[in-house]
C-alpha cells in the first residue's frame, strides 16, 4: 500500500513538473536564452576590461620565443603595442581546436589587416606541429593575414607558457582522443602585454 502511494505521489510530481517547467524551458530554448547568469550580464554591460591579477598584481605575458609557420622567430616583443588574442591548440586535434580556429578566423577577417592587432596560436604538440605542418594548417584555414602566427617551440616552454604564463591548462594525456588535453579558452592581451578579461 505504501509503495503504491509513493508511485502515485511521484506521478503527480512529474505531471506538475511537466505542466509548469517544460513550457518555460521550451521558451528559453526558442528565445536562444538558455542561461541568464549575472556574470554574463556584468560582462556585457561593462565598458571596461579587467586585469587578470595574481597575488595582487596585474598579470603580464611572460617573455617567450617561438618559431612561426614561416620559420621566423616570434617573441612577445613582436606583439608590443598590439592587442592580440592567444590560444593553445594542435593541428591534429579531433575536437574543439577546429571550432576555436574558426572563431579565430572570424577575428582575423575582421581585424587582421590592422597594424595594432595580432593572433598567437601556440601548438601544444610541437613534436608533430613543425613550421611546415603549421604552414599547411594555416593554408587549409585560408589564413591570409601576416598578423596570425602559428607558433611552435620546445614542449616544456609551451606548457610553461600555457599553464603558468596564461593560466590556460594544456598537457599530454594519452587517455583522451588526440593524446593531448587543453582548455578551449582564448586570452586577450592588451597593447602593454597585460592579460585582460
CATH code at position 159: 3.40.30.10
Residue % of the chain over a pLDDT of 90: 64
Q: Let me know: does 138 contact 106? Beta carbons within 8 Å.
A: no
Same-domain pairing of 80 and 176: yes
Same-domain pairing of 120 and 167: yes
Residue 51 above 90 pLDDT? no
What pLDDT shows up at residue 53?
Answer: 81
Tens digits of per-residue pLDDT, 94-129?
A: 989 999 999 999 999 999 999 999 999 999 999 999
Q: Which residues contact 69 (CB under 8 A, 6 or more apart)?
A: 131, 134, 135, 137, 138, 149, 150
What pLDDT shows up at residue 2?
Answer: 57
Across the range 84-92, mean pLDDT stands at 97
What pLDDT shows up at residue 56?
Answer: 82
Q: Which residue has the higher pLDDT, 27 or 74?
A: 74
29: containing domain? 2-34
User: Is there a domain that residue 116 lies in?
Assistant: yes
Per the prediction, the chain carries an average pLDDT of 85
Same-domain pairing of 106 and 15: no
Range of lowest pLDDT (29-33, 148-152, 176-180): 29-33
Q: How many domains does the chain have?
A: 2
CA distance 15 to 166: 49
Same-domain pairing of 8 and 61: no
User: Is there a domain that residue 165 lies in?
Assistant: yes
Same-domain pairing of 27 and 62: no
What pLDDT shows up at residue 49?
Answer: 79
Across the range 13-40, mean pLDDT stands at 56
Same-domain pairing of 30 and 58: no
What pLDDT shows up at residue 40?
Answer: 41
Across the range 124-139, mean pLDDT stands at 97
What pLDDT shows up at residue 52?
Answer: 81
Q: Let me know: does 133 contact 92? Beta carbons within 8 Å.
A: no
Same-domain pairing of 20 and 78: no
Tens digits of per-residue pLDDT, 159-184?
A: 999 999 999 999 999 998 899 988 99
What pLDDT shows up at residue 43?
Answer: 41
Amino acid at each position: 500500500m505504501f509503495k503504491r502511494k509513493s508511485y502515485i505521489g511521484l506521478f503527480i510530481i512529474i505531471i506538475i513538473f511537466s505542466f509548469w517547467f517544460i513550457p518555460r524551458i521550451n521558451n528559453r530554448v526558442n528565445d536562444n536564452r538558455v542561461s541568464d547568469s549575472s556574470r554574463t550580464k556584468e560582462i556585457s554591460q561593462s565598458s571596461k576590461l579587467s586585469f587578470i591579477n595574481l597575488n595582487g598584481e596585474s598579470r603580464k605575458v611572460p617573455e617567450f620565443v617561438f618559431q612561426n609557420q614561416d620559420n621566423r622567430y616570434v617573441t612577445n616583443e613582436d606583439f608590443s603595442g598590439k592587442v592580440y588574442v592567444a590560444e593553445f591548440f594542435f593541428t591534429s586535434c579531433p575536437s574543439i581546436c577546429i571550432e576555436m580556429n574558426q572563431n579565430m578566423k572570424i577575428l582575423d577577417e575582421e581585424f587582421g589587416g590592422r597594424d595594432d592587432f595580432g593572433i598567437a596560436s601556440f601548438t601544444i604538440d610541437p613534436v608533430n606541429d613543425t613550421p611546415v605542418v603549421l604552414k599547411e594548417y594555416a593554408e587549409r584555414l585560408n589564413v591570409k593575414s601576416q598578423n596570425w602566427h602559428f607558433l611552435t617551440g620546445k614542449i616544456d616552454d609551451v606548457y610553461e607558457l600555457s599553464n603558468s604564463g596564461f593560466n590556460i591548462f594544456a598537457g599530454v594525456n594519452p587517455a583522451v582522443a588526440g593524446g593531448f588535453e587543453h582548455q578551449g579558452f582564448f586570452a586577450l592581451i592588451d597593447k602593454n602585454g597585460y592579460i585582460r578579461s
